[in-house]
Amino acid sequence: HLQLQESGPGLVKPSETLSLTCAVSGDSVSSTSFYWGWIRQPPGKGLEWIGSIYYGGTTYYNPSLKSRVTIFVDTSKNQFSLNLTSVTAADTAVYYCVARWGTFDPWGQGTLVTVAS
């Protein structure tokens, strides 16, 4: 039973880098069966796909965020991570990690990241 759990700072200062980790349990992050990704949801608003990664390291990013986003896998810890640079208040959101490509399932519980000084 695949499960995902996000972790990371709940508060990030403007212009700094947002870094989140998603711990994977119930399968290997190196599995060829899955893509791993991140989706975010600003408070009270809709969903935005940030990007996804395949086990071999191939990444796909939302064009609107591509210049600031990096997603990578840590096989030794069975987890994958998100870095988002030069954050502003507009990056305040609940960040979800997800599995699979285009049929996002399951989702982590989500973690709220607030960008403020």
Partner 1 sequence: SSDLTQPPSVSVSPGQTATITCSGNEVGKTFASWYQQRPGQSPEMVIYQDKQRPSGIPGRFSGSKSGNTATLTITGTQAMDEGDYFCQAWNSDTVSFVFGTGTKVTVL
For partner 1, the closer of residues 19 and 62 by Cβ is 62
Q: Which H or E run includes 26?
A: none
The verdict on 96 binding partner 1 (CB under 8 A) reads: yes
The verdict on 17 binding partner 1 (CB under 8 A) reads: no
Instruction: Retrieve residue 103's tokens.
Output: 């049929």
User: Please, which of residues 36-75 interact with partner 1 by CB under 8 A?
Assistant: 46-49, 60-64
CB of 16 to partner 1, least distance (A): 25
For partner 1, the closer of residues 43 and 76 by Cβ is 43
The verdict on 10 binding partner 1 (CB under 8 A) reads: no
Question: CB neighbours of 23 closer than 8 A, spacing ≥ 6?
Answer: 4, 5, 7, 77, 78, 79
The verdict on 109 binding partner 1 (CB under 8 A) reads: yes
Are 104 and 2 spatial neighbours (Cβ–Cβ below 8 Å)? no
How far apart CA 79 and CA 39 sit, in angstroms, is 16
